[in-house]
Structure 1
Amino acid sequence: MPAAHRLAVWGDPIAHSRSPQLHGAAYAMLGLDWTFGRVRVAEPVFDGMLATLDAEWRGLAVTMPLKERAWRASAWRDRRAELTGAVNTLLLPGADVRRPGDAPSDAPIGFNTDVGGVVAALADEGITALDRVRIVGAGATSASALVAAGEIGARRASIVARSPERARPLLALADRLGMEASVEPFGAAHAPADLTVCALPGGTVLPDAHADALATDGGPLFDVAYHPWPSHLASRWTGRAIPGLGMLLHQAVLQVRVFTTGSVETPLASEDDVRAAMRSALVGD
């Protein structure tokens, strides 16, 4: 067994995570005898737990609320991570792979695969171009959704947030991306959009009036949540509502690339077969 054979997903809460099934299916298809666990890690203890990992550890998938902590812990970050201020994939020093040219080998390096996961999931649904996007929420996943929308051509964004102050980093990010952006409060008469991306935590229940206002002229709903499904917002949506399982699948494929090749850009051997195995593990086929 390779020295660095251990991986896990960290987050809080974490019991609902499907990452072990996804990654386990990928490594079985690739013939790798690696383990992938699930660990509940509270934000205040993230740095201390990271420091305890030994050379058996290859990498971590990171979910809420740890993505900003993982960003700060990274000695190098890919472009999408730098833009969003969020890392969901840590490649650890024990991994004996070629890293990007200027990335150190003796410290954790970080990637954001959520952006690519959103782009690929939307493409699966035939959404490959848009002009105006509506982002619901103002956290790390909202930043990834905004970057993903920019990558498929969005020029305008409306950000629905509880307060203008919380949305300020997203406004700055939109400016960096060359997008016009505005903030709208929940319950407002929202500007029409070609696509609405909901990046609220799974299980969030909005007042019905707020959900119905969002559903008006919002285009298809892409809700990054997938448990429980339908989400409250999806249950009120008047058009197409798309769960976040596709994002989960595609971002995990990119994570497997990182853990096996050191690069998010390097395709896996037999990647179509690996993706199919991961999809089957996800949906139970």
Structure 2
Amino acid sequence: MRTDQTSAGRPAPGGGGGTRAAVLGSPIGHSLAPTLHRAAYAAMGLDRSYEAIECDEPTLPALFDSLGDDWAGLCLAVPLKRAVLPLVDEVSDLALDVGGADTVVFRHGRSFGDHTGVHGITTAFHQAGLRAPGSAVVLGGGAAACSALAALREVGVREPVVVVRERDHAREAEAAAGRLGVSVELRHFGELDRLLRGVAVVVSTLPAGAADTLAPAVAHSGAAVLDAVYSAWPTRLAKAAGFAGSTVVDGLSVLLHQTVRQIELLTGLTDVPVAEMRRAARDELVRRAARETEPAVSGGKLL
């Protein structure tokens, strides 16, 4: 399915040709994607499989070329989203602008790369009533920030502020902003108090725990908050904003709606069971949290 040239074009067509799909990444065992996809397929009565496959950048080309006609597509984690671009036959304009494809659909012997993360963010924004926030501060400058910039553009924010610890950490976001036609202002975390004055929404793309020390300042600003973290929810940032009476959007909602779009692309179907997926994801997160708090036992004795 690999070609010598990648071309920008239409979004990936709905409905892959096969019945197998997987999420790729390294490490990938933590991914909620199998839980979400399997819950949806079961509720929709679809005979499809979905798995998590350990794969890094060096092994991606060989794995990609090994897939047969029974494969409907792939979902990709960072940094494979960028690495997959030269491997697909067509790439959507959005995926090129953001700088990566998180979903690849195989159909009629060709591969189509698209980006669904932006859909996840914009849908979560809309459901929270954030349809035209006007101004935004993005915490972090990596791949997730690129998706956030594209989503903010969709809701009318053309001049967001991107806050990073070092300018080099914003290279991806700065490049994506240029492709998206968005004018970003790069600032340091030491300026955050000033930058938050009067801002409408704060989007944190930082890893779990990294925004903890920023929670008081963000909560004091009164801004709506979208925190991309979903595995350790609610985060300290989300708690602080919620106690302050601000609108809070959780990372699970973003992931959920991103996955809905992926399922639409992979199956060609649009009646995706969101409630069943959310319930399955929450149950799985509860199980994981319980496992993490279980005491270790050896030979019948607590360690």
Contact 2:212–2:237 (8 Å) recurs in 1? no
Closer, same or farther in 2 for the Cα pair 1:152/1:243, shift >3 Å?
same
Contact 2:99–2:176 (8 Å) recurs in 1? no
Superposition pairs for residues 123-202 of structure 1, below 5 Å? Answer: 123-189=126-192, 190-192=194-196, 193-201=199-207
Alignment-derived partner of residue 229 in structure 1: 233
Alignment-derived partner of residue 205 in structure 1: 210
- Report the Cα distance in structure 1 between the residues aligned to 2:17 and 2:110, rounded to whole angstroms: 17
AA paired with 2:184? Answer: A
Closer, same or farther in 2 for the Cα pair 1:215/1:64, shift >3 Å?
farther
Deviations 1:100-155 (A, max 9, x none): xxxxx434321100001101011111111111111111111111111111101113
- Report the Cα distance in structure 1 between the residues aligned to 2:19 and 2:181, rounded to whole angstroms: 42
Closer, same or farther in 2 for the Cα pair 1:68/1:176, shift >3 Å?
closer
Determine which of 17, 20, 28 is the counterpart of 1:14: 28
- Percent of aligned pairs sharing the same letter: 32
- Report the Cα distance in structure 1 between the residues aligned to 2:267 and 2:17, rounded to whole angstroms: 13
TM-score, normalised via structure 1 length: 0.82
Closer, same or farther in 2 for the Cα pair 1:90/1:231, shift >3 Å?
same
Alignment-derived partner of residue 57 in structure 1: 71
Deviation at 1:34, TM superposition (A): 0.7
Unaligned runs of 5+ in 2: 1-15, 285-303
Deviation at 1:160, TM superposition (A): 1.0
Determine which of 259, 262, 268 is the counterpart of 1:255: 262
Deviations 1:52-76 (A, max 9, x none): 2222222111123321112332221
Alignment-derived partner of residue 224 in structure 2: 220
Deviation at 1:8, TM superposition (A): 1.0
RMSD: 2.5
- Report the Cα distance in structure 2 between the residues aligned to 1:18 and 1:67, rounded to whole angstroms: 17
- With 162-171 and 58-67 compared, the bigger mean Cα shift is at 162-171
Contact 1:130–1:195 (8 Å) recurs in 2? yes
- Report the Cα distance in structure 1 between the residues aligned to 2:89 and 2:140, rounded to whole angstroms: 28
Q: How many residues are paired up?
A: 263
- Report the Cα distance in structure 2 between the residues aligned to 1:144 and 1:156, rounded to whole angstroms: 15
Superposition pairs for residues 68-83 of structure 1, below 5 Å? Answer: 68-83=82-97
Alignment-derived partner of residue 283 in structure 1: 282
